[in-house]
Amino acid sequence: MHVLYTFTPVQAMQGSINWQIFRREVDMLDESNLRVLGFVGLKPSLINKMAQGGSMRESTPDEIEITRIYKRFYTALQLRDLCNEMPVHAVARKYDLPRGTIQNLAQTCHGFAAGMIKFCEKMDWGALAAVLDHFSDRLKAGAKSDLLALAEITFIKSRTARIFWDNGYKTVGAIAGADLKELIPILLMAQPKKLRLASDDEEKYHAKLCAKATKIVESANRIWERQMQQEIYEED
């Protein structure tokens, strides 16, 4: 949570806090994330008070800064859900926000993170840069750590990556060596139901899936070859 909080620039915080939602999310935080909550200066008691109809004054610079911290953490919770493979529309519904707001948030924070990573690299803070880079990749892919390699493949992002993983394709190499016919059923599972039902011409639809599977395998092969070359280079 602390990394995601760091990723959240002030300008990315749009709208007001739904304090009932905020309280619910805080109540579900584990001990580690509760420590982060305290570290950045937030108080669960105040969140509970606000959820019960309290008010937060913003008449002085200090009060405005306190409000900003609460908004920033609330926004970081949305980033956390995106990184944990929750679809954009589901995050929007959960926090009662427009879908476009969540999409803009992800794009803004990913760009902000890239700048932070470059800064860390220039300052020779390699370990911190690596941590930030990892979470930046997760935010971009909308996926947990185990899916990051698969998410590099063309057409495989978040939900699709999880379906491939659950069906035994857990590495880029496995997909690179797959038969196209094996991938079609998996791609069908990854399609929204309404999209499958809307396809009247099964032959054309199947051709599109075959073309998509071909691009996936080609992309996986390019990535796989690059990885192999990198391993050979490191051994030398």
Report the pLDDT value the prediction gives residue 228, as an integer from 0 to 100.
Answer: 84
| Contact call for residues 47 and 23 (beta carbons, < 8 A) | yes
- The CATH number assigned to the domain holding 103 equals 1.10.3380
Same-domain pairing of 131 and 165:
no
Same-domain pairing of 77 and 33:
yes
* Structural domain of 155: 145-235
Same-domain pairing of 109 and 90:
yes
Same-domain pairing of 20 and 91:
yes
pLDDT digits (tens, 9 = 90+) for 78-90: 999 999 989 899 9
Phi (first) and psi of residue 90, to 5 degrees: -70, -40
Same-domain pairing of 154 and 116:
no
Between 8-12, 31-35, 194-198, 207-211, the lowest mean confidence (pLDDT) is in 194-198
Task: Give the predicted TM-score (pTM) of the model.
Answer: 0.79
Same-domain pairing of 5 and 111:
yes
| Contact call for residues 148 and 177 (beta carbons, < 8 A) | no
Same-domain pairing of 65 and 156:
no
| Percentage above 70 pLDDT, the chain | 92
- Boundary of a domain, candidates 99, 124, 141: 141
pLDDT digits (tens, 9 = 90+) for 53-68: 988 888 899 988 898 9
Same-domain pairing of 24 and 135:
yes
| Contact call for residues 71 and 13 (beta carbons, < 8 A) | yes
pLDDT digits (tens, 9 = 90+) for 174-215: 999 999 889 999 998 887 665 555 555 777 888 888 999 999
How many domains is the chain partitioned into structurally?
Answer: 2
Between 14-18, 34-38, 90-94, 211-215, the lowest mean confidence (pLDDT) is in 14-18
Task: Give which of 124, 58, 176 is closest to 17, Cα–Cα.
Answer: 58
DSSP line for 93-142: HHTT--HHHHHHHHHHHHHHHHHHHHHHHHTT-HHHHHHHHHHHHHHHHT
Same-domain pairing of 33 and 79:
yes
Q: Is the pLDDT of residue 231 over 80?
A: no
State how far Cα 108 lies from the chain centre.
13
Report the pLDDT value the prediction gives residue 94, as an integer from 0 to 100.
Answer: 95
In the DSSP assignment, the letter for residue 127 is H
Same-domain pairing of 94 and 3:
yes
* Band (108; pLDDT cuts 50, 70, 90): confident
Same-domain pairing of 82 and 44:
yes
